[in-house]
Amino acid sequence: SSWPKVFRPAAGPRPPVPGRAAWMVELVVDREQFQAMVKEKLVIAYFTAEWCPPCHMMSPYFKELAESGTYDKAAFIKVDVDQAELIAEQADIEAMPTFQVWTDGAKIDGFTGADMVRLKEFLDKHCR
């Protein structure tokens, strides 16, 4: 990777926690799957793109927070806007990275930008 060391995850992947597969970030590309997920549970959606440098900075941090177990009330999903244009359209995505919280089939909050402090505050507000 050509990214400066500061943007890379500090350690290798953590060993999986038995019985806690829910603590993973799921890549969602299918609109029906997205709609079903946001109807059934509290979902934190991360909208990203391969060509987005700020997204590359936020991805490891989003994954780390998702897998920490601190926010186990929510399902964490990643949506590549180029692979899932219909989902991005439904979510009114205009820039990346964008983070949104969905529940009962509706978006209830969100923000755009590569701000690690704001992401943690956002998760603390909606998932604890």
Tens of pLDDT, residue by residue over 11-66, are 444 444 444 455 689 999 999 999 999 998 999 999 999 999 999 999 999 999 99
Give the pLDDT score at 128.
85
Does 4 score more than 50 pLDDT? no
Q: Is 55 a catalytic residue?
A: yes
Report the CATH superfamily, name and number, of domain 22-127.
Glutaredoxin (3.40.30.10)
From the list 28, 55, 75, 91, the catalytic residue is 55
Global confidence as pTM: 0.82
Residue 62 Ramachandran class (φ > 0 left, ψ -120 to 50 alpha, else beta):
alpha
- Active-site residue identified among 38, 45, 52, 66: 52
Q: Give the strand order in the sheet containing 42-48.
A: 25-27, 74-80, 42-48, 98-103, 106-112
pLDDT tens, position by position, 52-91:
999 999 999 999 999 999 998 999 999 999 999 999 999 9
The contacts of residue 37 (CB under 8 Å, 6+ apart) are 28, 43, 75, 77
Q: What pLDDT does residue 22 have?
A: 52
pLDDT (0 to 100) of residue 17:
46
127 in active site:
no
Per DSSP, what are the bridge partners of residue 109?
A: 101
Domain ranges of the chain: 22-127
